[in-house]
Every structure is written in structure tokens, then in C-alpha cells.
Amino acid sequence: MRSSPSLLPILAVGAVIRNDAGQVLLVRRGRPPRQGEWSIPGGKVEWGETVRDALLREIREETGLTVEILGLIEIVDSFLKDTDGNLECHHVLLDYTARVLSGTLLAGDDALEACWVWDLDLDAYPMWSETRRIIAATRV
């Protein structure tokens, strides 16, 4: 792996949110990385922003929902490489569980779509294998 001291990992947050029926909330990404794929809502932590505030903001911007953060699931590294195998981007993702407090689901910001999905139907949604693993970790 090639090292580049001028590039630092990008800190990002995401949340597995389930409704009262047990469905998981998915958003379809409108921007890179993984543009067009389905994911859990989330995004980058901005300069001077707490992780908590970033997660609440990103969920509100992408889904229109206000949530309560319940707990950390896991920290995941995402390495995106170019066609020659050189590292292009490194994200450090802090993935949480959360529950909806208020709002009406509506895709916004960089989310092309947002929907509630049953676990049995997740295979129909193209997504990163780590996203699937994180969602599975929250199954009751």
C-alpha cells in the first residue's frame, strides 16, 4: 500500500435505524464514494463538529428524520483504490444504532432515495458487504 503523508483518513458516521416493525432504513447514495449503492444514512464529520452532532445532522439532511442515538456498533475502515491498486481514499466510519423520534421519511441532500426494508429483502439492494455486516449486527 502506498503511503501519502498529505492525505489523512476522512472521519464519517452512519446509523442503522430500525422502525417499530423491525425494518431497516436505507438510502441510495447520490455521490461518491459508492454512488448509486444503498447504504445506511450518514456522512462526513465537519471541522469543529462533534461526532454526535454530525450523525444527527447527516440523518436529518438525508432522511428528514430526527433520531436518538442508542449506541456504537463498530468502527469500520473503508479503503478505495484506483485501477492500479493505489489507495485513493480512506474513510474511518463510526457506525451507530439509532431510533426515530420524529419526522417524515423523505430522501434529501445527497440521498437519491430512502426507504424502509425488511431484512429478508436486503439482497435486492446493491450495497457494500461491510454495510450488510453492520446491519446484520443489529438484528434482534
Catalytic residue among 46, 68, 74, 113: 113
Cα–Cα dist 122/59, whole Å:
20
Residue 68 falls in the annotated catalytic set: no
Q: How many angstroms separate the Cα of 45 from the Cα of each of 7, 33, 49, 57, 77?
A: 16, 15, 6, 10, 15
Q: Are 114 and 107 in contact (CB under 8 A)?
A: yes
Q: Which residues are designated catalytic?
A: 113
